[in-house]
């Protein structure tokens, strides 16, 4: 059977035609852990990405606050800029990834970009969970929840409309990393320091530890799963800021595991520390992994699991969003 887009080379063999990849300038708002990882991914894997898609995405602008700041992965000369207008006014740029964080400025920039006809991806979960419901369907948001796991694609395009009845999951990789490390013998302070070294946690870890990060993600997930807008204010949440290694190991001594679990139904959305049997799929998560269990009509249960924290992991979802926007 012919493969769409491929050429027949012989009676039983098809090959992909060799074509010159189309050069596509893109821009980033932000060049921190995720932004620099997006640029790095596009540059390091340029050949494979072009061969698979026929496109060569190239970062030509990246908005930053400070041009002189030392960066672990430097941008190419001339890419960094403090001028948003430079990006907005570049007619060659067709797609932009918003990776700044924050709410008011990010929202204003996204609205201006959309108004100019540019395609936008964002990983800004706090914006989407507070003042961004009208952006759903207008921008790509794969990088906003669960890192490299294709959860958004599954909820939006992989399931029958209205089929999902319940979603539960461990959706914050940082807290899962801390709990897993405390189970392995580290103190809370040691686990947090290791998370910082691995860049699993922001300079200020409050949103992760308080549960606000997980709550924002669950608000987005609930909105996508059930169709009705859910904001951060609608989510009852707690974090692990009151937990230490003693509580973790006490549960462990009883054959249990503590995890920060989000649960969404059509009636309510919560995030709380939950005691699970040690054999539960969420309890088996190690490192900074995430897992989400989808339940619903027809498909019964689907478990999605994979890397959930870190610049590289989120960047992989953002890169996928950029290619979809350009295509």
Domain positions in the chain? 7-147+313-326, 153-308
pTM given for the model: 0.90
Query: Residue with structure tokens 């890192």?
Result: 147
- The whole-number pLDDT of residue 178 equals 96
pLDDT at 6 over 70: no
The residue from 69, 217, 256, 272 that is catalytic is 217
> Catalytic residue at 217?
yes
Side-chain-side CA neighbours of 180 within 13 Å: the count stands at 18
- The whole-number pLDDT of residue 5 equals 60
| Residues 1/278, Cβ–Cβ less than 8 Å | no
- The whole-number pLDDT of residue 10 equals 64
Q: Where are the beta strands (DSSP E) in the chain?
A: 7-10, 13-15, 22-29, 55-63, 80-81, 95-98, 119-122, 164-170, 235-237, 256-264, 269-277, 289-296, 300-307
Side-chain-side CA neighbours of 281 within 13 Å: the count stands at 14
Matching fold, domains 7-147+313-326 and 153-308: no
pLDDT at 28 over 60: yes
The percent of residues in the chain predicted with pLDDT above 70, rounded, is: 94
**For residue 172, what are its two tokens?**
């914050």
293-307: buried (b, 16+ CB within 10 Å) or exposed (e) per residue? Answer: bbbbeeeeeeebbbb
The structural architecture, per CATH, of the domain 153-308 is: 2-Layer Sandwich (3.30)
Task: Report d(CA 200, CA 88) in Å as an integer.
Answer: 31
The percent of residues in the chain predicted with pLDDT above 90, rounded, is: 80
- The whole-number pLDDT of residue 244 equals 92
CATH class of 7-147+313-326: alpha beta
**For residue 288, what are its two tokens?**
């900074």
Tell me if residue 183 falls in helix, strand or coil.
helix
pLDDT at 12 over 70: no
Task: Report d(CA 269, CA 223) in Å as an integer.
Answer: 10
Nearest partner of 223 among 131, 311, 289, judged by Cα: 131
Task: Calculate the CA dihedral of residues 256, 268, 129, 229 and round it to 10 degrees.
Answer: 150
């Amino acid at each position: 059977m012919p493969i769409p887009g491929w050429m027949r080379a012989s009676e039983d063999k098809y090959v992909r035609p060799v074509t010159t990849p189309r050069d596509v300038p893109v821009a980033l708002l932000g060049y921190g852990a995720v932004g620099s990882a997006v640029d790095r991914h596009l540059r390091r894997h340029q050949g494979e990405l072009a061969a698979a898609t026929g496109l060569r995405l190239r970062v030509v602008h990246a908005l930053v606050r400070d041009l002189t700041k030392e960066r672990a992965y430097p941008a190419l000369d001339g890419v960094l800029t403090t001028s948003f207008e430079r990006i907005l006014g570049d007619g060659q740029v067709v797609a932009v990834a918003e990776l700044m964080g924050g709410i008011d400025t990010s929202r204003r920039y996204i609205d201006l970009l959309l108004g100019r006809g540019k395609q936008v991806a964002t990983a800004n979960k706090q914006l989407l969970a507070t003042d961004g419901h009208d952006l759903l369907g207008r921008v790509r948001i794969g990088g906003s929840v669960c890192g490299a796991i294709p959860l958004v694609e599954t909820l939006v395009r992989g399931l029958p409309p209205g089929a999902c009845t319940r979603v539960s999951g461990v959706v914050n990789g940082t807290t899962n990393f801390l709990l897993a490390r405390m189970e392995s013998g580290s103190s809370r302070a040691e686990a947090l320091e290791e998370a910082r070294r691995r860049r699993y946690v922001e300079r200020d870890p409050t949103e992760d530890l308080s549960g606000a990060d997980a709550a924002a993600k669950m608000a987005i997930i609930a909105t996508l799963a059930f169709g009705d807008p859910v904001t951060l204010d609608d989510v009852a949440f707690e974090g692990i800021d009151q937990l230490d290694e003693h509580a973790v190991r006490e549960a462990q001594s009883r054959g249990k595991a503590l995890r920060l679990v989000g649960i969404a139904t059509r009636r309510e959305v919560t995030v709380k520390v939950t005691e699970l049997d040690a054999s539960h799929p969420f309890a088996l998560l190690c490192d900074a992994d995430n897992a989400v269990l989808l339940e619903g009509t027809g498909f019964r249960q689907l478990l999605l699991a994979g890397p959930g924290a870190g610049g590289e992991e989120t960047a992989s979802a953002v890169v996928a969003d950029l290619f979809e926007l350009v295509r």
